[in-house]
Amino acid sequence: MAYPEEKLKALQAMQREALEYAKDYGLTVEELTDVELSAFGMAFDRQFVLQFPQREIVNMYRRHQKEILLGAMVAKAQMDANIEGEMPSSGRVGGPIPIRACFVGVGDDWEDAAPFSTGAPDNWIHSGTTLLGGTAGNPIRIGDNAVFVVIGVGSLHPSPKIESIQFTIDGKTKPVIITGWSQKTSGLRVNEFDKAMIWKKGTTVLAKVFISAAFGSSVDDYPYLIGAAYILEPQLRVLDAADLCGSAEARDVNKVVLTT
């Protein structure tokens, strides 16, 4: 399927602007060819525009498309392989695609993070999940074969209780994200970031949630990352989360997410 010429020209212009973003982020990048830009554009539309009925989510992805494209340029340089959309051929990079929970070690799906303790910060993304089996409270480390562009957080729970979320990236604690989801009686339970976080090889990530003790000693909630992933093709063929990162051997082979 040919990618429309007018859309390709728009992505070419966007890539030129993304190169300036790279300087701000201090990132090493490699420009995408027109073939790769077309693959990026088709994957972006399929994964993040056509998949969502909510205009608010679609518009969020569109607002951050330049940063998601920048993530593709980072992934190409990091993995020394071409970007080839959501169904890459052998040895190519898949993306942009949604971020699976197992890509960051949370579990088989985002629901596996529950239950959370209340009244004090509790770990969400960390080395000590049931899937990773590392030290609780230690950050994860992004491996050689993954790049993530995180543009926001949300909750999949029908009655979310998380009051706030905090990230620590490369040892630097970020300002608290006040979600207020428990106070929303309608609408989407999402919080968009002003600026995307780009997690590349070697980035360490720790995320904690805070939930009021008013809800009891522990509760279920299902936070998830909103954004895009770039994963090398062999690792995209791994269906079972345990086979991807559920043991030290699997983590060493796949190099998507590592413990610290």
Q: Which 8-state DSSP code applies to residue 239?
A: -
Specify the pairing of strand 190-199 against strand 172-173: unpaired
Name the token pair of 45.
């539309």
Q: State whether residue 36 is helix, strand or coil.
A: helix
- Bridge partners (DSSP) of residue 164 are 178, 210
∠ at Cα 234 (233, 237), nearest 5°?
Answer: 90
Written as tens digits, the pLDDT of the chain (260 aa) is 688 999 999 999 999 999 988 988 889 999 999 999 999 999 999 999 998 888 889 999 999 999 999 999 999 999 999 999 999 999 999 999 999 999 999 999 999 999 999 999 999 999 999 999 999 999 999 999 999 999 999 999 999 999 999 999 999 999 999 998 877 666 789 999 999 999 999 999 999 999 999 999 999 999 999 999 999 999 999 999 999 999 999 999 999 999 99
Residue 253 pLDDT? 98
Classify the phi-psi angles of 10: left when phi > 0, otherwise alpha if psi is within -120 to 50, otherwise beta.
Answer: alpha
Backbone angles phi, psi at 73, to 5 degrees: -70, -35
Name the token pair of 86.
């959501």
pTM: 0.96
Q: Give Cα separations from 121 to 163, 164, 211, 221 (angstroms).
A: 10, 9, 7, 14
Residue 185 pLDDT? 60
**Separation CA 171–CA 158 (nearest Å):** 33
Residue 98 makes CB contacts below 8 A (sequence gap 6+) with: 47, 48, 228, 229
Name the token pair of 206.
């720790």
Dihedral through CA 86, CA 11, CA 196, CA 47, nearest 10?
-30
**Separation CA 23–CA 93 (nearest Å):** 23
Residue 1 pLDDT? 66
Classify the phi-psi angles of 96: left when phi > 0, otherwise alpha if psi is within -120 to 50, otherwise beta.
Answer: beta
**Separation CA 77–CA 198 (nearest Å):** 14
